[in-house]
Chain A
Amino acid sequence: MSNDLKSGSNLEKVLRSGHFAFTGECGPPKGANIEHLKEKMHPLKGNVDAVNVTDNQTAVVRMSSWAASTIMVQEGIEPNFQMVCRDRNRLAMMSDILGVYVMGIRNMLCLSGDHQKFGNHPESKNVYDIDSLQLISLAKKMRDEGKFLNGEPIDVPPKIFIGAACNPFADPFEFRVYRLAKKIEAGADFVQTQCIYNMKKFREFMKMAVDMGLSEKCYILAGVTPLKSIGMAQYMAKMVPGMDVPNELIQRLKGAPKGKAAEEGIKIALEQIEEFKEMKGVSGVHLMAIEWEHRVPEIAERAGMLPRPKV
């Protein structure tokens, strides 16, 4: 990793200066309700280094991730703008990257995106002009070479801190670390993992990543989603493809006193965060408190993540 900042984003500076990063997540509303959006994002302010803004998450139409990210910038919160390959061709991707940069957005997460079959418009055409790896390389080309895909020069290239997702729990497990390596080769500066529940498997994954030198080339943020209820845990275990929720965790939630499952879920998350702080190759935690944004200050506090560094 060279010494010049690639984007100058807060997240980049936090990571570069060696702090243990802490990022959050916020899904834009299903409508143009800006008050609702602000209400959801405000608990995150000052409690995380950057906030992922999801892009039509689970293929359900919501306010665009770039617009919601822009509002975040105006509210003094640093967004991590998510872009999926499902809804845009390369023209739209490049113009959106330029557009968000102009609006002050400095982090971008490149994703394949959930297939539209899961969402509320399964009738739609799927684009997938390019895939998430190629999107990473596209953002890198725009930033570092100052060129569009076709090689034409860009008049003021967008300096974006490029992120990627990584799911160590999808199949085939043996290939996952290589896919991460490919994302890094394509140009990922940081990686946020899928929600981790199976710690044993994650330790194994991280060991491979460290042995391959991947954590030297890219910042790896471990994904944490507190389980709010037994129902949520069971749903994730059964219904979400590529999600690995071990039975012990479900049993542990079941064993909690009545009405205390959510607290037990938070405790589990806090234990995980403690372990990640010490885990070799892990540079931070990505907290996806799904529809639980208002609990983030408390979780951040209890996890010893506050105050966030000023860099």
Chain B
Amino acid sequence: MIVADEKSLPEILDMIKDCNHILVLGCKGCVTVCNVGGLKEVQILASALRIGRKKDGRIVKVDEEILERQCDPEYVAQIKDRVQNYDGVVSLACGVGPQFLSEAYPDQHFFPAVNTKFFGGAVAHGIWEERCAGCGNCIIHNFDGLCPIARCSKSLMNGPCGGSSNGKCEIDKEILCIWDSIVRKKMASGQLNDLLKVMPIKDWRTARDGGPRKRIKEDLTK
């Protein structure tokens, strides 16, 4: 899923400083799962904004709502009749949400309330980690199912760099050296030979480097 993180309250208060009536809009997709943009977080942010503005002596009226998904025009259309009632809409969805909203309602202002971080999952309660960089051409079968593009700090394709130390990455003792894990996994299964050929240079056109991407599934477009 897409993992996001809260923005700070002062930053959001600054975004809405000219608004007197706003909507805080959550999303039931990934941001609900990673506890940053679900109904509960909508309620918490809405009251924080009310309190923040009250302290400032400038009351703001805040409505609360959540959509099934903000990355889908069908659900985005559900607020059509009321979206113009607001001076601004604060979206708790990933970066896709406020953009779908902005495209659907060009006259309204949409503010992002979260920082969208990565594709990953929860490794423990309250801890999420990156797993994929969306390179557009998955090659992790070469590395026993572990992705060096997203998880090696240098996206190395041919083994651990000279800074790998005690299973940790040179940039931070808290970060796993994924190459250490790949090598150990291959050694344990007696398949180290798989890592001995030089990996071909990657074609990054399938990644963001090739420009903004689009997916077309022909049979659905007819």
Interface residues of A (CB under 8 A from B): 85-86, 90, 112-115, 117-118, 126, 128-134, 137-138, 149, 165-167, 170-172, 174-175, 178-179, 181-182, 185-186, 194, 241-242
Contact = CB atoms under 8 A, between A and B. Distances in A.
B87 interface: no
Given A185-B198, A186-B198, A179 B158 contact: yes
A115 B153 contact: yes
Interface residues of B, number: 32
Q: Which 9 A-B pairs have the closest CB atoms?
A: A167-B162, A241-B170, A241-B163, A133-B158, A131-B156, A241-B165, A128-B155, A179-B159, A117-B171
B160 A134 contact: no
Contacts of B41: none
A174 B159 CA distance: 12
Given A115-B170, A174-B187, A179 B160 contact: yes
Contacts of A182: 158-159, 196-198
B58 interface: no
Interface string B101-118: 000000000000000000
Nearest to B204: A129
B154 A171 contact: no
B181 to A, nearest CB: 10
A187 to B, nearest CB: 9
B159 A170 contact: no
Q: Which of B160, B180, B195 has the most A CB atoms < 10 Å from its CB?
A: B160
Contact of B154 (A126, A194, A242): A126
A170 B199 contact: no
8 contacts: A128-B155, A129-B204, A133-B198, A170-B165, A171-B160, A174-B183, A175-B159, A175-B187
- Main secondary structure, interface of B, reads loop
Given A128-B155, A129-B204, A171-B177, A112 B198 contact: no
Contact of B162 (A149, A174, A194): A194
B13 interface: no
A90 B204 CA distance: 11
Contacts of B166: 171
Given A186-B198, A242-B170, A134 B180 contact: no
A232 to B, nearest CB: 19
A26 to B, nearest CB: 20
A86 B154 contact: yes
A134 B159 CA distance: 12
B164 A241 contact: yes
Contacts of A186: 198
Nearest to A185: B198
A131 B161 CA distance: 10
B158 A170 contact: no
Nearest to B202: A130
B91 to A, nearest CB: 27
B198 A134 contact: yes
Nearest to B156: A131
Q: Which of A113, A179, A241 has the most B CB atoms < 10 Å from its CB?
A: A241
B158 A171 contact: no
Contacts of A126: 153-154
